[in-house]
Copies of this chain bind each other. A is one copy, B any other.
Amino acid sequence: MAKPRSAPTLDDVAKMAGVSTATVSRCLNNPDRVVDATRKRVLSAVDTLGYTPNFAARVMAAKRSFTIGAIIPTMENAIFARGLQAFQEELHQRGYTLLVSSSAYKPEIEEEQIRTLIARGADGLLLIGHDRDPKIYDFLAQREIPALVAWSYLSDSHLPSIGFDNRAAMFDLADHVIGLGHSKLGVISGHVDGNDRARLRVQGIRDAISGRGLEASNLSLIETPYEIENGAKAFRKLMSADTPPTAILCGNDVLAAGALRQAQEMGLDVPGDVSITGFDDIELARIVSPALTTVHVPHREMGRKAALQLVEMVENQTAGAGEQLATRIVNRPSLGRPASG
Task: Specify which chain B residues have a CB less than 8 angstroms from the CB of A57 in the assembled complex.
Answer: 56, 60
The 5 A-B pairs of least Cβ separation, nearest first, read A56-B56, A56-B59, A55-B119, A55-B120, A56-B60
**CA–CA, A228 and B143, complex, Å:** 44
Interface string of A122-153 (1 = CB under 8 A from B): 00000000000000000100111000000000
Task: Specify which chain B residues have a CB less than 8 angstroms from the CB of A52 in the assembled complex.
Answer: 115, 118-119
Interface size on A, residues (CB 8 A): 42
Q: A116 at the A/B interface (Cβ < 8 Å)? A: yes
Q: Which listed residue, B76, B121, B287, touches A56 by the CB 8 Å rule?
A: B121
**CA–CA, A115 and B51, complex, Å:** 10
Task: Specify which chain B residues have a CB less than 8 angstroms from the CB of A144 in the assembled complex.
Answer: 5-6
Taken together, the copies of this chain in the complex come to 2
Query: Could you give 19 example pairs across A and B, Cβ below 8 Å?
Result: A6-B143, A6-B144, A7-B143, A50-B139, A54-B60, A55-B56, A55-B119, A56-B57, A56-B59, A56-B65, A60-B60, A75-B81, A76-B81, A76-B85, A97-B116, A99-B99, A100-B100, A284-B287, A287-B288
Q: A317 at the A/B interface (Cβ < 8 Å)? A: no
Q: A31 at the A/B interface (Cβ < 8 Å)? A: no
Task: Specify which chain B residues have a CB less than 8 angstroms from the CB of A287 in the assembled complex.
Answer: 228, 257, 261, 284, 287-288
In the complex, the answer to whether A53 meets B7 with C-beta atoms within 8 Å is no
Residue of B nearest to A284 (CB): B287
Q: A78 at the A/B interface (Cβ < 8 Å)? A: yes
Q: A283 at the A/B interface (Cβ < 8 Å)? A: yes
Q: A264 at the A/B interface (Cβ < 8 Å)? A: yes
A100 vs chain B, min Cβ distance (A) = 7
Task: Specify which chain B residues have a CB less than 8 angstroms from the CB of A6 in the assembled complex.
Answer: 143-144
